[in-house]
Amino acid sequence: MSVTGQRRVPVRLWRSVTVRLVVASAVLSTLTIGVVFGFLYWRAVGVVEEQAADTVASEIRGLAEHFGDSGLLGLVRSVQERSDITSEAEPVYLIVDGLGNYLAGNLMAWPPVIPPDGRWRKVELYRRGGGQPILIGARAHALPGGVRLLVGRALDGRVKIQDAIGEAVLWALAALWAMAVGGGLLLSRTILRRVDEVAAINRDVMVGDLGRRVPVRGSGDEFDRLAASMNAMLDRIEELMVGMRTVTDSIGHDLRSPLTRLRSRLERIQPSETSPTERDQALDDALGDIDATLDLLNRLLEIARAESGLQREQMTKIDVASVAVDVAELYDPTAEEAGLSIEATADQPVMLMGHGELLAQAVSNLVDNATKYARQHVRVEVSLADGSVKVSVVDDGPGIPEEDRERAIQRFVRLDPSRTGRGSGLGLSLVAAVARLHGGSLVLSDAEPGLRADMVMPISRG
Amino acid sequence: MTRKILIVEDDIETAAYMERGFVEQGYAVDRTADGREGLFLATGQDYDAVVLDRMLPGLDGLSVLKAVRAAGVQTPVLILSAMGALDERVRGLRAGSDDYLVKPFAFVELHARIDALIRRSAAGTEAPPSRLVVADLELDLLSRKVTRAGRPIPLQQREFQMLEYLMRHAGRVVTRTMLLEGVWNYHFDPQTNVIDVHISRLRQKVDKDFDSPLIHTVRGSGYMLALDG
């Protein structure tokens, strides 16, 4: 990785998917913590309050009993004693007589919102001697003789719980955020490093180093799969580039000679020196050169199109047998004229996902070749074996020596230099390209005597 | 009646070459290099045929063609294009063209095809004939029998198809490529001139025993079936 790449890490971190995910998950966890602690708080407060309510209820029962035993005076004394104790629970007491006059306790006056029915109520009240109103929970009880008794507890425990839980929330959040950020950084660093690796190789390839490949670690993870498919793509691109280079080199080479010939021919036509018949002849020859050159170009383009694989889209289910028989029939009169016999054998239809036009052209190239070299017979056979269809064209001519067969399929190779007059040296390479387009290959072998050309193509496609 | 042709082609040299050729053959020619103007002319005037290039400034050939067809104009259209792959041909035919010729081309080829298109569209309104007759040669499309001067001529299937094609284009030049496309449905060019041999076989059967030959070779372009070449 380059130095500039390193420096740009923070910016990319912020844009990176990982960091965004980490932030999103942190936000989600924060919400979860809020809900959990909120629930805890609500329950804790509830429990504390229930406890206070129970305590108050039993205290009222005790004081009522005391009133029954030792009368109003005993009750008042007992309440006065209890009011003086400042315990943690901060109890609240009040006794009033039938007219509502204060008898004892630490409240200023009887709160009108609390009827003496023994039920638990929450209310904000002023305490005797205290400045701030406080929230209390209380129960009131009516005693014989119109005396009313109120017992309550300040509910300030709530605040303490709030504080404790708030603190816990803060700590939990701090820990969570630290983990999210730390983990996220670590995770995205690891991922970004592999992304950078791929990007760096992409840059190398773009600059022109087509041989570069993304390393595959063998772990089979997503990055390995990405690397494998990228490498496959790069392989294909390199293959196409090499093919293209070969074609342009060959075209350059092969077009140069007819064009040079054409040029000199046209140059020779000097109106003052040449006779009209010579001129006509030269013009005819020039037209012939142009046609040959155009023909060459067309054939090269056909091969390039077949090799590009673009024409796979046009493949349909076709009967290869009838394609081959039709081509054989097209050549039949020509062969007969040359004293040859063409025999086409195809017992049954052989269906294949294929490009009918290109297959016909390929078979036509093979038959064309065979009729040029055969002595007496040309055989066209279509057979099925091992899930493949084999289209064979066999002649009884001189054949091709084994060491030359590989070369014969290459572009522009004419094995017999004395035959430069005919054929562009592209016929067999088109056949090979068409076979490859159909997932197969062209195999040349010895027919003893003669040449046997087999297009072998799998039929288990599509 | 003078036949009128519209040429929509942006390459000046090619357009001039075609115009010269058609004018020599007695056609009236309108020419434009712009797709929009081509569309305007093709929909506004009555032409016997249109030669349409695919790569055009203004509006590309296929769009022009679609617009022309959408306007209900049924003038036969031949697409002329450097794009010769089969899928390109199919796209052209789908867009509504009647024929597709790949550049580079020879004028005789273009002329023969345009001629055939005009003929076909003129005959388009009649019911398809069940028999074709040229001089004393008769071809029955239903019984698939051929007779000349009343004598039956036995033909193989392809020979029958070739003769049918020639008779449908009687009096007009039929090129080798047209025969390959029309009879064999091949759009490639076999390296050896196989068509010539097929024709000479057909000639053996149709002309040999008769005084006046019907199948003529047109030098440099193709064949023609007519009473006198």
Look at residue B29 and tell me whether its pLDDT is greater than 90: yes
User: Quick one: pLDDT at residue A362?
Assistant: 92
Query: Does residue A141 sit in helix, strand or coil?
Result: strand
How many residue pairs from chains A and B have C-beta atoms closer than 8 A? 56
Q: Do A248 and A360 fall within a single domain?
A: no
Determine the Cα–Cα distance for residues A366 and A380; give it in Å rounded to an integer. 9
Which of A205, A229, A260 is the last residue in one of the domains?
A205
Q: Do A201 and A337 fall within a single domain?
A: no
B75, B50 Cβ separation under 8 angstroms: yes
Q: How many residues does chain B have?
A: 229
Q: Do A324 and A289 fall within a single domain?
A: no
Q: B67-117: per-residue pLDDT in tens?
A: 999 988 889 999 998 877 777 888 888 888 999 998 888 888 899 999 888
What residues in A contact B86, CB-CB < 8 Å? Answer: 311, 314, 355, 357
Q: Do A294 and A400 fall within a single domain?
A: no
Q: Do A232 and A338 fall within a single domain?
A: no
- Tell whether A157 lies on the interface with B, counting CB pairs under 8 A: no
Determine the Cα–Cα distance for residues B79 and B62; give it in Å rounded to an integer. 9
Q: Do A63 and A162 fall within a single domain?
A: yes
User: Quick one: pLDDT at residue A328?
Assistant: 92
Q: Do A123 and A272 fall within a single domain?
A: no
What residues in A contact B188, CB-CB < 8 Å? Answer: 302, 357, 360-361, 364
CA B94 to chain A, closest CA, distance in angstroms equals 14
Q: Do A248 and A286 fall within a single domain?
A: yes
Question: Number of structural domains, chain A?
Answer: 3
Determine the Cα–Cα distance for residues A308 and A301; give it in Å rounded to an integer. 10
Domain limits, chain B: 4-123, 131-225
> Sorting pLDDT into bands at 50, 70 and 90, what band is B39?
very high
Determine the Cα–Cα distance for residues A340 and A321; give it in Å rounded to an integer. 22
Determine the Cα–Cα distance for residues A196 and A215; give it in Å rounded to an integer. 12
Judged by average pLDDT, the poorest of A187-191, A300-304, B34-38 is A300-304
Look at residue A239 and tell me whether its pLDDT is greater than 80: no
- Tell whether A427 lies on the interface with B, counting CB pairs under 8 A: yes
- Tell whether A329 lies on the interface with B, counting CB pairs under 8 A: yes
CA B103 to chain A, closest CA, distance in angstroms equals 10
Q: Tell me the mean pLDDT in the region B160-165.
A: 94
End-to-end CA distance of chain A: 43
User: What CATH number has the domain bearing residue A104?
Assistant: 3.30.450.20
Determine the Cα–Cα distance for residues A97 and A375; give it in Å rounded to an integer. 141
Name which of B85, B158, B191 is nearest A423 (Cβ-Cβ): B191
Which run of H or E residues covers position B145? strand B145-148
Average pLDDT, whole number, for chain B?
88
Q: Which residue of A has its CA nearest to B82?
A: A298
Q: A241-289: per-residue pLDDT in tens?
A: 777 777 677 677 667 777 887 888 888 777 777 788 888 888 888 888 8
Name which of B187, B190, B201 is nearest A330 (Cβ-Cβ): B190
- Tell whether A357 lies on the interface with B, counting CB pairs under 8 A: yes
Q: Tell me the mean pLDDT in the region A208-232.
A: 86
Query: Does residue A55 sit in helix, strand or coil?
Result: helix
Which of A293, A308, A323 is the last residue in one of the domains?
A308
Determine the Cα–Cα distance for residues A442 and A94; give it in Å rounded to an integer. 111
Judged by average pLDDT, the poorest of A21-25, A231-235, A433-437 is A21-25
Across the interface, do B198 and A333 touch by the CB < 8 Å criterion?
yes
Interface of B with A (CB under 8 A): 84-87, 90, 104, 158, 184, 186-192, 194, 197-198, 200-201
Across the interface, do A333 and B197 touch by the CB < 8 Å criterion?
yes
Q: What is the DSSP-derived secondary structure letter of residue A439?
A: T
Helices (H) and strands (E) in chain A, counts: 10, 12
Q: A368-421: per-residue pLDDT in tens?
A: 989 988 899 999 999 988 889 999 999 998 888 887 787 777 665 555 544 444
Range of the domain at A426: 311-458
> Sorting pLDDT into bands at 50, 70 and 90, what band is B154?
very high
Name which of A311, A337, A357 is nearest B188 (Cβ-Cβ): A357
Determine the Cα–Cα distance for residues B77 and B49; give it in Å rounded to an integer. 6
What residues in B contact A294, CB-CB < 8 Å? Answer: 104
Q: Measured between alpha carbons, how far is residue A139 from residues A42, A55, A151 in Å?
A: 22, 11, 6
- Tell whether A97 lies on the interface with B, counting CB pairs under 8 A: no
Fold type of domain B4-123: Rossmann fold (3.40.50)
CA A358 to chain B, closest CA, distance in angstroms equals 9
Amino acid at B112: A
What residues in B contact A371, CB-CB < 8 Å? Answer: 192
Q: Give the CATH class of B131-225.
A: mainly alpha
Across the interface, do A360 and B188 touch by the CB < 8 Å criterion?
yes
Q: E strands along A126-257, which residues?
A: 134-142, 148-154
User: Quick one: pLDDT at residue A422?
Assistant: 45
Q: Do A294 and A397 fall within a single domain?
A: no
A282, A269 Cβ separation under 8 angstroms: yes
A325, A346 Cβ separation under 8 angstroms: yes
User: Quick one: pLDDT at residue A3?
Assistant: 43
- Tell whether A392 lies on the interface with B, counting CB pairs under 8 A: no
- Residue of B86, B162, B188 to mutate, interface with A, max A Cβ within 10 Å: B188
Determine the Cα–Cα distance for residues A17 and A88; give it in Å rounded to an integer. 54
Report the half-sphere exposure of A59 (CA within 13 A, side-chain side).
22
Q: Which residue of A has its CA nearest to B192?
A: A368
User: Quick one: pLDDT at residue B48?
Assistant: 92
Q: B113-144: per-residue pLDDT in tens?
A: 998 888 887 776 566 678 889 888 999 988 88
Q: Do A437 and A389 fall within a single domain?
A: yes
> Sorting pLDDT into bands at 50, 70 and 90, what band is A48?
confident
- Tell whether A313 lies on the interface with B, counting CB pairs under 8 A: yes
User: Quick one: pLDDT at residue A309?
Assistant: 64
Q: If you write DSSP's letter for every residue of A408-437 in order, what string do you get?
A: HHSTT--S-GGGTTS--S-HHHHHHHHHHH
Amino acid at B23: V
Which of A140, A172, A205 is the last residue in one of the domains?
A205
Nearest to B172 by CA among B25, B31, B64, B57: B25
Q: Do A78 and A198 fall within a single domain?
A: yes
